[in-house]
Amino acid sequence: MKHGKNYNESVKALDLTKAYESNEAMDAVIASAKAKFDETVELHVRLGVDPRQADQQVRGTVVLPNGTGRKVKVLVIAKGEKADIAAKAGADIVGAEEIIAKILNENYLDFDVVITSPDMMGQMGRVARILGPKGLMPSPKSGTVTTDVEKAIKDTKAGKVEYRVDKTAIVHCPIGKKSFGAEKLLENFNALMEAIVKAKPSAAKGTYVKSVYVAATMGPGIKVNYRA
């Protein structure tokens, strides 16, 4: 694979044989982000689990102390009082059957997160095949199916992220933007890593956190010396 000039310069400035301490890694990832836009910094964690086993799934949510730096468009599917609460709490779009029909018939997907009240989940099954593959289907585990829609909206807007292990046993998750600076990125990194470590399945054996990397959108992966 061919890489651009900025990427190659970033690689030359790194010691690829080294596992950086977490504070050093944040400085290094900022230095490697040479694009003209405010690059997202992502965390990539390889875990010692078998994602094919139901009792070794790793999934959860955490509110990053400094947010993600991303404006999130929230859709709330609810009726009556819950819909009124959602509108007042800052939901970008609020609706019920008419929104479900729009998703189903028009492939409407102009939102980043879907939150719904439990009474609407029976109807949400109609759009599961559309929302599911895009990671937009609400679920109790991610806190997006809830009676407390106000808290769910506020947490999402404040920087709540969902982490989940993929089929290759890796968790990929954003921890902020280059513009955050090293201190805020480190706070977010620590919060997310703490949540992932706490989510260790009891069925997982051996080393749980196998490797940790951080990378900017257009930059190389930087290995982190993480000790749980």
pLDDT tens digit sequence for 98-141 = 999 999 999 999 999 999 999 999 999 999 999 999 989 999 98
Q: What is the pTM of this model?
A: 0.82
Spell out the alpha helix ranges (H) of the chain: 5-12, 22-32, 80-89, 97-106, 121-124, 128-131, 149-158, 182-198
The predicted model gives 157-181 an average pLDDT of 94
Asked if 189 and 4 touch (Cβ cutoff 8 Å), the reply is: no
State residue 14's pLDDT score. Answer: 77
The pLDDT-based confidence of 16 (bands split at 50, 70, 90) is confident
